[in-house]
Each structure stands twice: as structure tokens, then as C-alpha cells.
Amino acid sequence: MVSEIKLMQYADGTLSSEEKKKIEKEIKNNPKYLKTIKDFKKANEFLLDVNEAFRTKPLSNTLKLKLKKIKQIEKRKALYDRTRKNNFYLTLYFALSNIFSYVITKVIIIIASLSGLFWILLKLTQKGVLVKLFIDIWPLILRYWVIFIESILSFFRKSIEFIDDLIPLGKQVAEIFNDLTPLLT
């Protein structure tokens, strides 16, 4: 018994000469296999015709742009991979930048938030609304101020713990770097 996969490979012409001879012997004994092979050949021809029809149609501008972007991304990624593999210093830089970017991102978000808050307070002060607003919401400020300060302190404690966890890693990287520096020069 011959599997359909082998019959399909025979129809496509991808079998080795030994396998091809075995299949041909089986075909002689079973005409059903011959019909299956003919069907596979017809399907293959149909798919080739469909493929050719799609190839001759021009791509839309949207698809062309997307294809161009994909190729650019692939080129950049290949360059990035080659650069990182061939340069120890860049590999070290990217590894450390990924670790520290998390902390830096948090600091930038806090600075941006505080800047926005101070801008709003400045505008409210200029219009005289802040004093009235401050008097009206003073009880709320007193109630939630402690929670706000605790959350900020908790954030900084976690950031410091994170940095403390990085210090041994930094020392290990420095030791490796010191060991490799004579080899690289």
C-alpha cells in the first residue's frame, strides 16, 4: 500500500530514483493509484496557473508600501543582529540599556506628570480659581495626601530595591569586562 503523500511526491517528481521505481511497480498493480496521480498532477497544474495569474497582477500601492516597510525592517534587524554579534561593547550596551530603561521610563513618566500638574496649578492660580478650589477640597487633600505620599515612597523603595538587585549584576559585568579587556586590545 502506497500513501497519498508518496503518490503526491511521485506526481511532483520529488522522489528519489529508488522510491520512484517502487511506486511505479505499485501503480502497475493498482489502477486506482494511477487515477490519484493524475488528479494530483491536475491539481498541481491548476495551482501553478493560479499562482501565475496572481504573479502577473500588479500589487496595489498599499501592499507595495507594506512590503517595502517589511523589507526595511528585515534589513535593520539583520544589521542590528550582525552588529550585536560582532561587537562585544554594543552587546554589553544593549543588555545594560534594556535593564536601565525600565527605571528611566518610570522617572520620565513621573517628571512629565509633575510638570503637567504644576502647569495646571499655575493656570488655576493665574485665574484665581485655585484658592477657592483649594478651600473646597482641603479636607480631601488631607485625607488622601498620606496615601499619595506612601505610594510615591513605595515606588521609590521598589526602584531602589531594583537598583540594589542590579548592583551585583553590574559588578559581575564589570569583572567580565575587566577579564575580556586584555583580550580585546
Residue with cell 525592517: 73
Q: What is the dihedral of CA 48, 50, 51, 52, to 10 degrees?
A: 90
How many C-beta atoms lie closer than 10 Å to residue 147's C-beta? 9
- For residue range 7-65, list pLDDT tens digits in order: 888 888 888 888 888 888 888 888 888 888 888 888 888 877 766 666 666 767 777 78
Q: How far apart are CA 1 and CA 4, in angstroms?
A: 10
- Residue 154 clears pLDDT 80, i.e. is over it: yes
Q: Inform me whether the pLDDT recorded for 80 exceeds 80.
A: no
Q: What pLDDT is attached to residue 152?
A: 82
Is residue 185 predicted with pLDDT exceeding 60?
Answer: no
pLDDT in tens, 167-178: 777 677 777 767
Q: Are the C-beta atoms of residues 6 and 15 closer than 8 Å to each other?
A: yes
- pTM for the model stands at 0.31
Does 81 have pLDDT greater than 60?
yes
Q: For cell 511521485, name the residue.
A: 10
- Band (pLDDT 50/70/90 cuts) for residue 97 is low
Domain ranges of the chain: 4-57, 72-184
- Closest residue by Cα to residue 99 from 46, 183, 35, 159: 159
